[in-house]
Amino acid sequence: MRKLRTLQDLLVEELKDLHSAESQLIRALPKMALAASSPELRAAFERHLDETKQHLQRIDQIFERFESKPGRKRCKAMEGLLAEGKDAIAENAEPAVHDAALIAAAQRVEHYEIAGYGCAKAFALLLEDEETASLLDDTLQEESATDRLLTEIAMSGINQTAAVGG
């Protein structure tokens, strides 16, 4: 592991982590979509898969600007969050309870990504790299919108149905 000497070094490490996180999520979202019984939840996962591919492209664009590559860094946090999501997929539960578990797992992922993109954007702003900050902000806004959408889906009936055992 190399020593971080500057905020730019830290930004690059954050971007490597986010690259790995997004790559892992691209492999997990189709499984989550298949596991969802709610058509609205399934569609949200499928839409977010398309967005996640764009998020990865934005990170690649930043690496190109930095004349760098993401390397082989593995995001251990995303690995753990997705392992919990895999457990949620495997749960033997009533459909609404199962969907509520999927939403909870997905929101944990979104919150992790929101934190990562927020930090990376702050670093870019401090480094006066407006283009990088703007690209990161685009993704940050999409991650936040997905989190809000998942809350809306949960509160539009799934959680209520799950609460009464169905």
pLDDT digits (tens, 9 = 90+) for 25-79: 999 999 999 999 999 999 999 999 999 999 999 999 999 999 999 988 999 999 9
| Residue 114 forms part of a structural domain | yes
Tokens of 102: 């999927």
Domain containing 102 — which CATH number? Answer: 1.20.1260.10
Residue with tokens 């993401």: 70
Q: Running DSSP on this structure, what letter comes out for residue 154?
A: I
Nearest by Cα to 97 from 38, 53, 47? 38
Residue-number span of the structural domain to which 68 is assigned: 7-163
- Tally of domains within the chain: 1
| Residue 108 forms part of a structural domain | yes
Note the pTM of the prediction, 2 decimals.
0.94
| Residue 28 forms part of a structural domain | yes
| Residue 2 forms part of a structural domain | no
| Residue 39 forms part of a structural domain | yes
Taking only the tens place, the pLDDT of each residue in 84-139 is 999 999 989 999 999 999 999 999 999 999 999 999 999 999 999 999 999 999 99
- Name residues whose C-beta falls within 8 Å of residue 101's C-beta, 6 or more positions apart in sequence: 88, 91, 93
